[in-house]
Amino acid sequence: MMKKMFFTAIIGSLIFASCSSDDEPITETSNIEVPSNYTFERDGQSTVDFSGQTTRILMAEEILNSFTDFENTTVISLQAMYAHQEGDLDFSDAALNASDKNVRSKTAASQDYFSANTTEAAAIRNLFDSYISGQVNEVFPNKDVLAVAGSAGQLADGTKTRYVNAKGLVYNQMFAKSLIGALMADQMLNNYLSIAVLDADNKVADNDNGITEDGETFTTMEHNWDEAYGYLYGTSVDAANPNVTIGGDDSFLNDYLGTVNADPDFSTIAADIFDAFKLGRAAIVAKDYTVRDTQAAIIRQKISEVIAIRAVYYLQQGKNLLANGDFGAAFQNLSEGYGFVFSLRFTRNQSTDTSFFSTSEVDGFTSALLADGLNGFWDLEPSTLDSITEAIAAKFDFTVEQAASAN
């Protein structure tokens, strides 16, 4: 069973009282008043804003859907969606078209990992571009033919159809699962929850003095924390109380936090993450930056675990399906696993203040997944999958068996 992490920064017992702004129950701990939900106000107005994150999640959803829109999608249209320019008619949603946001510019763009590492950042963005061009140029022309080793096409997965390249890779799944790390996790763990970002310039002094951004209700530090929150809960039905629908609100990090949380081995992880976000935000209001940083560390650890658990799960599922000769389902799972393995690059180890996995380690894993023969997944050996999943689990306090038994 994975060890549980406790809020050691909490001082004193928990008591419940009424919130002066809206009579919402709060938890008071030392000098920090923590709302029951993620609700924070100043002068009767909400100070929570993560609209930019919501926009990028919605953009990513439409990009993902377009990967299998064989009638309308081109390399140009898909890349335009990924690198959207304000006012361009790339999306079906007029609000997304009007936005000055895009997904590509925030891919591998965190302060801590990539501000001084622009070469790797460019290579990662180019990799996402290659998934787009590969889907259209390799898979689209063969969408109506049966895939075989060395040839792209379609494969049955129960009642569903999977579309693979010559090595069995499902590009849309690799794109989506890799984006969980390169966008959602990287921006959350290594950018907006970065101490270098939260404490940059005059943010501490401004927060101490209640100085808000021009025309806004929030301080910049409050907003940064909310932006991290938005990459997980930005499309939640109730973003103030998101765990009611956790796992059902997007196709990215929210989805897989919910899936992991549904496993009895990891059944507190969603609550742990939400509580840490809530307490950390309340600590910013209370100007207690020690508690803030403790909560950021909890979030980094738990989100990293979600990515690692799903990497192990999908690779082990793929191994079992290959053994049964169920190639459509196997390649779907292996492609999802490949994306989660890639996302390990963006995890955050608090002990070292770096990723749990170096670039060379991740590159070694992804190369090994395609190196057992000329035909990639078609030739993949069970021993390779066992070796990779054991190496991943060894960095965390869970076993391969625990992760592989998740839903």
The residue with greater pLDDT, 112 or 6, is 112
Q: Looking at the DSSP assignment, which residues form a beta bridge with residue 396?
A: none
Q: Which residues pair with 157 in a beta bridge?
A: 160
Dihedral sign, Cα of residue 389, residue 265, residue 10, residue 240? positive
pLDDT digits (tens, 9 = 90+) for 183-237: 999 999 999 999 999 999 999 999 999 999 999 999 999 999 999 999 999 999 9
Q: Are 253 and 185 in contact (CB under 8 A)?
A: yes
Give all strands of the β-sheet with 32-35 in edge-to-edge order: 15-18, 25-29, 32-35
3-state secondary structure of 70: coil
Phi and psi of 180, rounded to 5°?
Answer: -55, -40
DSSP 188: I
Residue 363's CB is within 10 A of a number of other CB atoms, namely: 13
pLDDT of residue 359: 97
Residue 21: its pLDDT value, please?
36
- At 30 the pLDDT is 63
Lowest-pLDDT range of 26-30, 36-40, 96-100? 26-30
pLDDT over 70 (residue 8): no
With cut-offs at 50, 70 and 90, classify the pLDDT of residue 19.
Answer: very low
Q: Mark 122-143 as b/e (b = at least 16 C-beta within 10 Å).
A: eebbebbbebbebbbebbbebe
Average pLDDT (238-243) is 98
Mean of per-residue pLDDT scores for the chain: 93
Q: Is residue 25 over pLDDT 50?
A: no
121, 115, 140: which is closest to 194 by C-alpha?
115
Residue whose C-alpha is closest to residue 240's, from 11, 7, 48, 5 = 48
Report the pLDDT averaged over residues 69-85. 98
Of 19-28, 63-72, 184-193, 272-281, which range is least confident? 19-28
The 10s digit of each residue's pLDDT in 156-173 is: 999 999 999 999 999 999
Looking at residue 29, its pLDDT comes to: 55
Terminal C-alpha separation, the chain: 16
- Name the pLDDT band for 354 (thresholds 50, 70, 90): very high
What integer pLDDT is reported at residue 406 of this predicted model? 66
Residue 7: pLDDT band (50, 70, 90) is very low
Q: Which of 30-39, 81-90, 136-145, 251-260 has the lowest mean pLDDT?
A: 30-39
What is the rounded distance in angstroms from the CA atom of residue 374 to the CA atom of residue 195? 45
Phi then psi for 359, rounded to 5 degrees?
-60, -40
Question: Closest by alpha carbon to 51, among 215, 229, 203, 220?
Answer: 229
| Confidence grade of residue 294 (pLDDT, cut at 50, 70, 90) | very high
Residue 31 CA to residue 79 CA, distance in Å, equals 49
pTM comes to 0.92
Tens digit of each residue's pLDDT (9 = 90 or more) over 52-67:
999 999 999 999 999 9
Mean pLDDT confidence for 116-130: 98
Q: What mean pLDDT comes out for the span 304-318? A: 98
For 150, left (φ over 0), alpha (ψ -120 to 50), or beta? left
User: Residue 17: what pLDDT?
Assistant: 31
Q: Beta 160-164 vs 153-157: how paired, if at all? A: antiparallel
Position 31 confidence tier, pLDDT thresholds 50, 70, 90: confident
Could you tell me the two tokens for 14? Answer: 């928990």
1, 60, 310, 319: which is closest to 187 by C-alpha? 60
Q: What pLDDT, on the 0 to 100 scale, is given for residue 13? A: 31
Percent with pLDDT over 90 in the chain: 92
Total number of residues shown for the chain: 407
Tokens 């008591």 correspond to what residue?
15
pLDDT tens digits for range 391-402 = 999 999 999 999
